[in-house]
């Protein structure tokens, strides 16, 4: 990859309500360290990483426990009501430092098990594609739509993928997309970019890169992290 510059944005301003823990899930412990620390370090483990911005809740009480990644300066910004608002705030904080042609990787604080090879693959894909790229997984289960606790319909799964993160785009494109999507119900960066008529590339990622969302996910993430660390991945 030519001499690209990569900025890392980590939205970490959520409440983790679906987790139902005694603190926001990004501050639960995995291998003795905050979930957010694992996610941040793994998202910054790319040689082109020039800096990172982490979006925190206004009343965040845990950031002080997070050790900074080596060799990557990390700034913090106050996040917003929705994930897209937090990412938008982090992008605004990069104004004046990030050039329009720089790459930005947005990675959930709730995804602590990002394999290095997946980070490198999605960044390389975005560097080679003007529409950007995101890690994703093809749906492998039969999908049902629920209504009142029963099956309403079976949803055809052909061609369906689950979006993961990092999602990687050129800074100028991503800022334009998210500014233009203000108020729209976009739940990931790709959806905002798609609204501009772009078609980001899907990069098959590891199922270990799960988002800690529900109570059972923490144990899964602990097992996934052990696997990654055993493999040196």
Ligand X SMILES: C[C@](O)(CO)[C@H](O)COP(=O)(O)O
Ligand Y SMILES: Nc1ccn([C@@H]2O[C@H](COP(=O)(O)OP(=O)(O)OP(=O)(O)O)[C@@H](O)[C@H]2O)c(=O)n1
How far, in Å, CA of 37 to CA of 26, rounded?
A: 8
Parallel, antiparallel, or unpaired: how do β-strands 161-170 and 103-106 relate?
Answer: antiparallel
Alpha helix segments (H runs only) across the chain: 35-43, 83-93, 116-127, 171-180, 189-194, 217-231
How far, in Å, CA of 35 to CA of 72, rounded?
A: 18
Find the distance separating the first CA and the last CA of the chain, reported in whole Å.
Answer: 20
Q: Is 79 in the site for ligand Y (CB under 6 A)?
A: yes
Q: Is 85 in the site for ligand X (CB under 6 A)?
A: no
Which residue, 83, 130, 88, 111, is CA-closest to 206? 111
Contact 22, 61 (CB under 8 A): no
For ligand X, the binding residue among 55, 104, 122, 163 (CB under 6 A) is 163
Judged by beta carbon, residue 15 or residue 67, the one nearer ligand X is: 15
Q: Is 188 in the site for ligand Y (CB under 6 A)?
A: no
For ligand X, the binding residue among 39, 188, 193, 202 (CB under 6 A) is 188
For ligand Y, the binding residue among 6, 8, 12, 43 (CB under 6 A) is 12
Q: Is 38 in the site for ligand X (CB under 6 A)?
A: no
Q: Is 187 in the site for ligand X (CB under 6 A)?
A: yes
| E strand or H helix at 145 | strand 143-147
For ligand Y, the binding residue among 53, 110, 135, 164 (CB under 6 A) is 110
117 makes contact, choosing from ligand X, ligand Y, none, with CB < 5 to 8 Å by partner type, with none
How far, in Å, CA of 158 to CA of 138, rounded?
A: 9
Q: Is 37 in the site for ligand X (CB under 6 A)?
A: no
Q: Is 108 in the site for ligand X (CB under 6 A)?
A: yes
163 makes contact, choosing from ligand Y, ligand X, none, with CB < 5 to 8 Å by partner type, with ligand X
Phi-psi region of 106 (alpha: psi -120 to 50; beta: other; left: phi over 0): beta
User: How many chain residues are in contact with ligand X, going by CB under 6 A?
Assistant: 8
Contact 26, 43 (CB under 8 A): no
217 makes contact, choosing from ligand X, ligand Y, none, with CB < 5 to 8 Å by partner type, with none
Could you tell me which stretch among 93-101, 148-156, 162-170, 202-210 binds ligand X (CB under 6 A)? 162-170
For ligand Y, the binding residue among 6, 7, 9, 14 (CB under 6 A) is 14
Contacts with ligand Y, residue ranges (CB under 6 A) = 11-19, 26, 55, 79-83, 86, 108-110, 211, 213
């Amino acid at each position: 990859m030519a001499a690209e510059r990569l900025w890392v944005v980590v939205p970490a301003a959520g409440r983790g309500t679906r987790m139902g823990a005694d603190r926001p899930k990004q501050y639960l412990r995995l291998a003795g360290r905050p979930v957010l620390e694992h996610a941040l370090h793994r998202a910054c483990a790319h040689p082109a990483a020039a800096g990172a911005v982490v979006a925190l809740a206004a009343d965040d009480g845990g950031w002080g426990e997070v050790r900074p990644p080596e060799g990557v300066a990390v700034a913090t910004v106050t996040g917003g009501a929705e994930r897209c608002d937090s990412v938008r705030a982090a992008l605004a904080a990069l104004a004046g430092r990030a050039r329009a042609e720089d790459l930005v990787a947005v990675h959930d604080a709730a995804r602590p098990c990002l394999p290095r090879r997946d980070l490198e693959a999605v960044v390389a894909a975005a560097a080679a594609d003007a529409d950007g790229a995101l890690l994703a997984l093809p749906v492998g289960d039969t999908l049902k739509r629920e209504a009142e606790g029963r099956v309403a319909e079976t949803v055809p799964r052909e061609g369906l993928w689950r979006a993961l993160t990092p999602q990687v785009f050129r800074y100028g494109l991503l800022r334009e997309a998210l500014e233009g999507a203000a108020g729209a119900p976009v739940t990931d960066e790709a959806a905002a970019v798609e609204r501009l008529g772009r078609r980001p590339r899907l990069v098959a990622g590891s199922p270990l890169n799960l988002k800690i969302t529900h109570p059972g996910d923490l144990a899964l993430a602990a097992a996934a992290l052990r696997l990654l660390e055993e493999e040196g991945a």
